[in-house]
Structure formats: C-alpha cells, structure tokens
Amino acid sequence: MSENEKTKGQLLYEQLRYQKKSGFELMPKDELDGAMDYAKGYMAYLDEAKTEREAVTAAIALLDKAGFSEYRVGDKLEKGGNYYCNNRGKALIVFRVGTEDINTGIRISAAHCDAPRLDLKQHPLFEETGFGYLKTHYYGGVRKYQWATIPLALHGVVTLADGTTKDVRIGDEPGDPVFVITDLLPHLAKDQNQKPLGTAFPAETLNVMIAASPYREEDGTVTPSEDKVKLTVLSILNEKYGMTEADFVSAELCAVPAANAVDIGLDRWLIGSYGHDDRVCLYPALTAMIDNKDTAHSLMCILADKEEIGSEGVSGMQCRIFTDIIDEMASQLGGNANVIRANSICVSADVTAAYDPNYSDVFEKRNSAIVSSGVALSKYTGSGGKSSTNDASAEFVGRIRRIFDGASVVWQTAELGKVDQGGGGTVAKYIAKCNIDTVDIGVPVLSMHAPFEVVSKIDVYAAYKGFSAFYKAD
Ligand code: MN
Ligand code: MN
C-alpha cells in the first residue's frame, strides 16, 4: 500500500462525518467577488433604513424600480402580478401571484424591519441646569450602557394638531448636529462601578441631550421667559417642522445611532452598522424576491414591525393582515385559503448570535453559528427547555437542506448560545400557528442589538443565495 492511499476507515470517515467549512473555503472566486459587490447595495440600504418606517420606504423604492405595484386589501389581483401591501408605512407584505394554481401554496419569507432603539416619551422635553433633554423609553432588548457617549440621530414622524404628518431626520446628513447621552467620568464612578451591569444604568438616565443654550431675544439678550433652553428647542422644532410641545404626544420619534454602515477589518470582509438585526435578513429576502419575480408559484416576503417587542400591534406579525391577504388571494384566484396555507412553506428570516471568541463561555461551539460559515438554520429558538419556540420538523428541515445543498448555498446550523444561558424568539411561531411549516434562517451577528453590530459579507450573500433558492424551489 502506497503512502498516499487512504485506508477504508479513513475513506469511511470522510464519507460519514460532517465538517463545517467557511465560505472562504467553499465559495469560488467569482462568488466571493459577488459577495463583496452585493454588500455595497446592502450597506446603502442600511444608511437609508434606520427605523421601521424608513426600512419600508427604502424597500418600496426598490420595489417600484423593479415594477411591483401597490396593492390595498380588496384590490383586484392577477396571475403573474407582483405586488406590495404597505401596512401603515411601518410594515410591508410583498407578494407575487404565481402562474400556477394558488392552492399549491406560497413560498414565504418573513423578516422584521424594527430594531432596538430609544423611543421618545410622549412628554419628552425638559431642561436642567442649562441643558435641554429628551426623555426616552427604550424599545426592544438594549444593553443600556451601550447607548451613552455615542452620537445619536433623531428619526421618526410627528403628526401635528391639524393632522399633517412630518418626517423628522436629524443627525445623519453631513453637517447635521447629533445628540448624546452623557456618562460618568471614571474618576467619579466608584459607586456605579460596584453595581451589576443590569442596574448600573437605570432607564430613566437615558436622557438625550438636545440643546445647551437659552433662547435669546432678537437683540441677542437672554429671554426673560421661563424654561429658556426648552424654548430654544421648541423654537427650532417649530421653525423646522411647524410643531409645538403638544405635538410630541402624537409623534413617533426615536434616537438611533448617527453613524453609517462601514467596512470592518483591513481585508474588509465584515460590515459594522446599526440595525443589522434584521435588515441583514430583510434585504437579502427582499432582493432575492425582486430577482425571482417570474416564478410559477406564488411568493411572499414579509417585513414585519414590532418583532423586538413581541410582534404585537397592527403592524406586527400577529396582525391578521397577513392571513387577510392569503384570503384575498384565495377568493380572487379560485383557491381555498386553508389549502393554500397548508401547502405554504416559510423561512423566518431573522438573525442569530454569532460565536464570539471574546465571550466563548456563553456559547456551545459545536452548535453555534460561526461568522463567514454561511447563512444559519435554527431548527428551534426559545429559551430554557425550548420554551416558546417553533421547532421545525425533521422533514421540513430536510426539505430546506435539500434546497440549499441543491443550489450550493453555504449554510450552517445555529443554536443561540449555551442551554440555559438565555435565549430569544422570532416571528416563526406566529406563522407556524397558521398551519404553515416554518423554520428560522438568518445571518449570524456579533454584538447583536448593540448600536454597532457586525456581520460578514459572506453570510449576507449566502442569505441572498439561500432565500433565492427557497423562492425557486418546487
Ligand atoms: Mn431579529
Ligand atoms: Mn432582535
């Protein structure tokens, strides 16, 4: 036997074992180039889409360009038509009515367009010792200390007393001022340093500094009015948006990080940005849909709001607009909604935690998603003993596996950290509840929910390829 010949056992081992490989090993050069290139479009989308409303607006711009038409519940549907239903500017259901029998079901992807942030309270404005501040109420799971001493922008809408709604976006254009939440200096942090991280930064200290000067009369003298700094803020907002202090009551304003998406690393394979969760799945799911708008079967790409707070509310995944649209498809196209749902399949397009070598003790490495090893399939999410999870069946995971392998998608599996370390959920369970097989597929993220999250361009592209294969699949 020559030295190069392998033994039966060696060959058997190669045949039988599972070995995870990175995208750098698996992707041919043109695909790696494609991944680098695809990231540019994604990064441009990130800069446009910091809130759920902006994510919807930016998605509609892409859809309009691709020839999709706006659909309102009740509108006439046609076979072969490509539509989007704008749910109050905060969520979006994009769908294609395929050319085949609607009863064969719909290929659905469901991402979310909201991200953790600091919402303004309804009476946010106050002044203290020469500073104007905005009170905030955090939205979603934030680690509060991460939001201090970073540049913040103010985004959202305000509905004025007369009913008109104005878009607000300050802090992201070149030359814009930004805002900040201050933090203690180390010299005086002795007491704070003794506190557990979860309690050292009380939510009520997350006050955004918005101004630092008293209102001055036309002759330059400080106003004799009360609340001088507050008046400075109100006068500027009034001039810019026509709003008064009472209009904060009917506003949805939030503080988000003021920075744009950037390459990370000398080799530029990572992207740092606010809001990867879940734009990093939303954008691949959406663009894959745009690139597959001639399929025989029907497709749907959902951009749900409110995932970070339980998918509640009229723009959340639990809102019945999702099934209402399926009902409309059934009644208009001669189908049966129950049959359509039974034959539909869904990928819940949401991020998972990437293994972080800096915090290896919270992960179980064999079952963690590794950055640049592809888009991750999570059979289950939840916490504790798989509490509150959609746990996809072996058969359905097998189906997705065949689809991905058939299209040479670089993919891996993921479990969110060690058992009993924590956990999380997605919209998967709300879709599964409608009798639709659903599994979580998404991009691994480092520093998830931080103001500056990190993903790999390999994984973003793998997600695009994965969703594309899913839409095309029989
Ligand atoms: Mn998410
Ligand atoms: Mn999240």
How many CB atoms lie under 10 A from the CB of residue 440?
29
Instruction: Give me ligand 2 centre to Cα 23, in Å.
Output: 25
C-alpha 254 to ligand 1 mean position (Å)? 18
Q: Is residue 366 classed exposed, middle or buried when 0-12, 13-18 and 19+ CB atoms within 10 A define those classes? A: exposed
Confidence band for 470, pLDDT divided at 50, 70 and 90: very high
> Residue 457 in contact with residue 38, Cβ under 8 Å?
yes
pLDDT of residue 3: 63
* Ligand closest in space to the Cα of 281: 1
Closest ligand, as measured to the CA of 282:
1
**What 3-state class would DSSP assign to 185?**
coil
Asked whether the beta carbons of 92 and 84 are under 8 A apart, the reply is yes
Could you read off the pLDDT of 241-280 as tens digits, one per residue?
999 999 999 999 999 999 999 999 999 999 999 999 999 9
Q: What angle do CA 64, 176, 455 make, to 5 degrees?
A: 60
Residue 391 CA to ligand 1 center (angstroms) comes to 17
Ligand 1 centroid to residue 283 C-alpha, Å: 13
| Centroid of ligand 2 to alpha carbon of 10 (angstroms) | 43
Please tell me the distance between residue 278's alpha carbon and the centre of ligand 1 in angstroms. 5
CB 342 within 8 A of CB 104: no
| CA 17–ligand 2 middle distance (angstroms) | 33
What are the φ and ψ backbone dihedral angles of 209, each rounded to 5 degrees? -75, 125
How far does residue 280's CA lie from ligand 1's centre (Å)? 9
The SS3 call for residue 383 is: strand
Ligand 1 geometric centre to CA of 71 (Å):
26
How many A from CA of 444 to the centre of ligand 1? 11
Closest C-alpha to 104, from 458, 392, 344, 337 = 344
Distance CA 462, CA 439 (A): 17
Helices (H) and strands (E) in the chain, counts: 13, 22
d(CA 464, CA 288): 6
Distance 295 CA to ligand 2 centre (A): 31
Identify which ligand lies nearest to the alpha carbon of 116.
2
How confident is the model at residue 80, as a pLDDT? 97
Beta strands at 131-139 and 117-128: parallel, antiparallel or unpaired: antiparallel
CA distance 107 to 469: 11
Maximal CA-CA distance, the chain: 99
DSSP 281-316: HHHHHHHHHHTTTT-SSEEEEEEEB-GGGTS-STTB
Q: Which residue has the tokens 């969110």?
A: 416
Distance 121 CA to ligand 1 centre (A): 24
Ligand 1 ion: Cβ-proximal residues, 5 Å cutoff: 277-278, 350
Residue 1 has pLDDT above 80, yes or no: no
Task: Give the Å distance between the CA of 395 and the centre of ligand 1.
Answer: 25
Amino acid at 131: F
Kindly give the distance from the C-alpha atom of residue 425 to the centroid of ligand 2, in angstroms, as a whole number.
8
155/90 Cα distance (integer angstroms): 14
Between the CA of 72 and the centroid of ligand 1 the distance, in Å, is 27
- 158 CA distance to ligand 2 middle (Å): 25
Nearest ligand for residue 304 CA: 1
Whole-structure pTM value: 0.97
pLDDT in tens, 16-68: 999 999 999 999 999 999 999 999 999 999 999 999 999 999 999 999 999 99
User: Which one, of 92, 89, 94, lies nearest residue 53 by Cα?
Assistant: 89
306 CA → ligand 2 middle, Å: 10
CA of 44 to the centre of ligand 1 (A): 20
The Cα–Cα gap between 270 and 262 comes to 8
Structure tokens belonging to residue 72: 């309102």
**pLDDT tens sequence across 150-170:** 999 999 999 999 999 999 999
Q: What percent of the chain has pLDDT over 90?
A: 98
Q: How many A from CA of 131 to the centre of ligand 2? A: 33
Tell me the average pLDDT of the chain: 97
Going from the Cα of 348 to the center of ligand 1, the distance in angstroms, rounded, reads 10
Selection from 303, 247, 277, 228 nearest residue 120 by Cα: 247
Model confidence at 4, pLDDT cuts 50, 70, 90, reads confident
Q: How far is the CA of 310 from the centre of ligand 2 (A)?
A: 10
Taking the CA of 308 as reference, the closest ligand is 2
Distance 438 CA to ligand 2 centre (A): 18
CA torsion through residues 191, 194, 195, 197, sign = positive
- Per-residue pLDDT, averaged over 74-99, amounts to 98
Name the one residue in this structure whose structure tokens are 């509108």.
75
| Token pair in block for residue 193 | 């340093």
The bound ligand whose nearest atom lies closest to the alpha carbon of 111 is: 1
Q: For residues 389 and 1, what is the distance between their CA atoms, to the nearest angstrom?
A: 53
How far does the centroid of ligand 2 lie from the alpha carbon of residue 188, in Å? 33
Distance 377 CA to ligand 1 centre (A): 14
Q: Which two tokens stand for residue 46?
A: 């990130």
Tell me the ligand closest to 449's alpha carbon.
2
DSSP characters for 127-156?
EETTEEEEEEEEESS--GGGGTTS-EEEEE
Ligand 2 centre distance from Cα of residue 308 (Å): 5
The rounded Å distance from CA 229 to ligand 1 centre is 38
**Residue 72 neighbours by CB under 8 Å, 6+ apart:** 85
HSE-CB for 243 with a 13 A CA cutoff = 24
- String of DSSP letters for 104-118: G-EEEEEEE----EE
- How many whole angstroms from 351 Cα to the centroid of ligand 2? 7
For 79, half-sphere exposure in the C-beta direction (CA atoms, 13 angstrom radius) is: 10
Q: pLDDT tens across 125-137, in order? A: 999 999 999 999 9
